[in-house]
Amino acid sequence: MSEFLQIYAENWSDWWPQLVPAMWNTVALTALSYLFAVVLGIILALGKLSKIRVVRALCKSYIEFVRGIPALAILFLLYFALVPLGIVFNSFTAAVIGLGMNQGGYMAEVFRGGIEALHKGQREAALAVGMTPVKAYRNIIMPQAIRIVLPPLLNMLINLLKDTSICSLISAPELMLRAKDIASMSFRPMHIYLLIGVLYFTMAWPLSMITRRVEAHMHRGRRSTV
Amino acid sequence: MEESLLRVEELHKSFGDLEVLRGVSLVLSQGRKLSIIGPSGSGKSTLLRCINYLEEPTKGHIYVNGHLVGEKLVDGRYVRMSSKELAPQRAEIGMVFQNFYLWPHLTARENVAIGPQRVRGLSKKDSLDLADMMLEKVRMARKRDEYPERLSGGQQQRVAIARALAQEPRLMLFDEPTSALDPELVGEVLKVIYELADEGRTMVLVTHEIGFAQEVSDEVIFVDKGRVAAHGPPCDVLQNPQQERLCSFLGKLLGS
Amino acid sequence: MLEFLPFDPWKAVQFSQVLLRGAIMTVQITAGALVIAIVLGLMMAVIKTSRVRVVRFLVDAYIEIFRGIPALTLLFILYFGLAYSGLQIKSVPAAILGLGLVGCATLTEVFRSGFEALHHGQREAALAVGMTPIMAMRNIILPQAVRITLPPIGNYAIGLLKDTAIVSAIAAPEIMFYARNLVTSTFDTTTIYVLAAILYFCLSFPLARIVSRLEERRRSWQ
C-alpha cells in the first residue's frame, strides 16, 4: 500500500502542475455549456408553449431528438461530421455547444414545469386577494417557480460536470484528456485515473451537498404529493 | 361477573416529549358498544390504535378476551411480542380507518379476500366466497370487481368495513370512520355500522357524529388531554353533560 | 438523379449494416448493466432500511462516491487501471460492470423513494388485518413498489442505452466503436455519424414512448 502511495509522492510535482490547468478547463467547460444550456432551455420551453404550431413542432422535435441520442453522438457530429460541410469547430467550442445542446433539451422540460406554475390558479388567487400582477409575480409565482426549477437545475450542473469527461473523446483539453496523456507517458494508469476520480469527486461533492440542502429547504412544509 | 372482552389498564402513551395519553382505563363487555369522543389532539385515536397495538403504549396494558395484547409475561416481566406473535392477535380485531386505506392494486373483492386467504389460510375459493358475503352485507356486491380508485369515499369505506368483517373479529374498532367523507356519503356508512351494532358485535368507535354515538352506543367516554374526563351511558354524557369542558366541546360540535 | 442527395445511399446501407452489428452489442451491454444496477440497487435500498448506522453510512458513502465520478473515469480504472495492476478485464465485461456500478447508485434512490411513496396507511391496514410485516411486504408493498418504480427505471434504462456510447473508448464493439472505425477507414464522417445518431434514436425512442405511457398510467393510479 505504501508502495502505491509512494508513486504519488514521486510524481506529484510532475503531475499536479499539468492537472491544475486541466481542472480549470473542466470548470470553464462546465460553466459555459451550462449557460448555453440554460439559455437554450428557456428558449425551447417558451417555444413549446408558443401559439404558433410550427414553432411548437420544431421545439418538440428538437427536444425529442436530442434526448434520444447520446451526448457523445452530438459531440462527434459537431466536431467531425460538419467538417466536410465546411463547418469547423475547435474541440473546446464543439464541447461547449455539444453539451449545451444536449443539456438544453433536458432543461427545457424543467423550465416548462416552472413556467406552468405561473399559469395555475395561483396567479388568479393572488390577484383575487388584491395583489397587483407585479406583487403576485414577486411574492407568489416566482418563489413557486424557483422551488420547482432549482433542484433539477442543480442536479444538471453536477451531471454536466461529469459529462465534460466525455469531451476528452473529441480531444477537448479538459481533465480526462490530460489524464490520458499523463497515463500514456508515465505508464501508471491506475494511479492517474484514481487520482482524477478523486479530483472529479472533490469538484462534484460540494455541489451535491448544496443540492441536497436546497432540496430539503424546498420541501419544507410541503406534503409529499406522490 | 361478566368476563370483559376488552380491558384497558392505566394506558400511557408519549411521543417523545409529548404525552398524549395520561392514564386511561376502561372495560368493555361482550356485545357492548363504546364511543369515544373528544377534541382534536385529546388522544382518542391514539387510544384506539393502542388496542390493536399499532401504537405501542409507554405504560399500561391491554387485554382482549382476557389475553394480553402485544406483550407477554416472561419470568414475571412484560416483554413486547414479536411481529409474528402479534399478527394473529390483530387478526382477531377488526379495524376501520378514517382514510379507508384500501389497497389500490386489488379489486374490492380481492381487498376483502386477501386477509382470510393469506392470514387465516382459507382456500382461494373460500376466501372469495367469504368476501362476496361480506360485500353483500355492506351492499357493495355489485362493485366487487372495481378498483378502489373508481369508488366513492362512502363505497370505499364500506369495502373497508367488509374487509374488517372478513376477519370474523371478536372486537371491531372504528377510527373516525366518516370524518373523511363528504356529508352526503356519511349516511350510507353509518347505516352499515348501525346494522353491525344491531347484530350484537362488540365495538369501539371514535367519532365526531354525536347523534350517531347517542343512537348506537351503550357507553360513551369523553377523552380530554389524555384522560377520561367523563364516562357513562349516552344520555348521561351527551344529554346532561356535567363537566365544563364537555359542555363547551359538545356546544361547538352541535352548534347550539 | 441520386447526385442530388447529400450522401451516397449505397454506402449508407453498407455503413448501416456494420453499425447494426454494434447495435446488438449496445443492447446487450445495456441489458447487462441494467440487471446489475437493479439487483444491486434493490439490495442497497433494502440495506438502507437497516437500523445499524454503520451499514447505512456505507451505502450512503457508496452512493456519494459513485454519483460523484464520471462513468468514463470508472471505466478507465476498470479497463486500463486494473490491467496495469495485473487484472485484465475484457472491454465488454468492464463496460457492463462499470455502468452497472454507477447505475445502482442512482437506482438505490429510486427504490428508496418508491418504498416511501407507499402511504404508510396501507402497511398499517395490512398489519391490522393480521399480516406479519413480511406478508405485508410481499402482498401489499412490493407489488405496488414495482408499479411505482417502473417508470423511473425505464427512464434510467434509456439513459443507460445512450451512455453505452462512451464504452467505445475502452474498445467495446458497440455502435460508436464501429462508427469510429468506419470513419478511420473511409473518412465519411458526415454519413456515418448521422447514421449512428439515427440508430441510437431508433433504439431509444420506442422505449421513451413506453415509459411515457407507463407514467400516464401511474398518474391515474393516484
| pLDDT tens digits along C3-49 | 556 677 888 888 888 899 999 999 999 999 999 999 999 889 888 87
Taking phi first (over 0 means left), then psi (-120 to 50 degrees means alpha), and beta for anything else, what does residue C5 get? beta
Domain ranges of chain A: 2-218
How many angstroms separate the CA atoms of B19 and B58, rounded? 9
In a domain, residue B242? The reply is yes
pLDDT in tens, A211-222: 988 888 776 644
| Residue ranges making up the domain that contains B118 | 31-42+89-254
Cell numbers linked to C102: 454507477
How does residue B1 score in pLDDT terms, banded at 50, 70 and 90?
A: very low
CB pairs under 8 A between B and C: 68
Cell numbers linked to A19: 492537472
- For domain A2-218, the CATH superfamily is MetI-like (1.10.3720.10)
Q: Is C220's CB within 8 Å of B149's CB?
A: yes
Helix axes C189-221, C9-47, angle to 10 degrees: 40
How does residue A54 score in pLDDT terms, banded at 50, 70 and 90?
A: very high
Number of compact structural domains in chain B: 1
Residue in B13, B35, B38 with CA at minimum distance from that of residue B24:
B13
Q: What is the CATH number of the domain that holds B219?
A: 3.40.50.300
- How much is the pLDDT for A226? 30
In a domain, residue B245? The reply is yes
To the nearest whole angstrom, how far is the Cα of B126 from the nearest Cα of chain C? 17
**Which residue of A73, A183, A226 is in closest CB contact with C193?**
A73
Domains and CATH numbers, chain C: 11-221 (1.10.3720.10)
pLDDT in tens, B150-161: 999 999 999 999
Cell numbers linked to A75: 459531440
Is A in contact with B (3 or more beta carbon pairs below 8 Å)?
Answer: no
Residue in C13, C169, C191 with CA at minimum distance from that of residue A83:
C191
Q: Is A166's CB within 8 Å of C204's CB?
A: no
Please list every residue in chain C whose beta carbon sits closer than 8 Å to the beta carbon of residue B119.
129-131, 135
Q: Is C196's CB within 8 Å of A183's CB?
A: no
Q: Is C84's CB within 8 Å of A188's CB?
A: yes
Q: Is C70's CB within 8 Å of A64's CB?
A: no
C100 Cβ contact list (under 8 Å, min separation 6): C32, C33, C34, C35, C36, C37, C40
Handedness of CA A200, A203, A205, A210 (dihedral sign): negative
In a domain, residue B59? The reply is no
Residue showing cell 396494558: B61
Taking phi first (over 0 means left), then psi (-120 to 50 degrees means alpha), and beta for anything else, what does residue B43 get? left
- How much is the pLDDT for B209? 85
How many angstroms separate the CA atoms of C162 and C27, rounded? 10
- How much is the pLDDT for A126? 67
Residue in C93, C199, C61, C217 with CA at minimum distance from that of residue C154:
C217
How many angstroms separate the CA atoms of C221 and B149, rounded? 7
- Tell me the C-alpha to C-alpha distance, in Å, between residue C185 and each of A171, C169, C189: 20, 18, 10
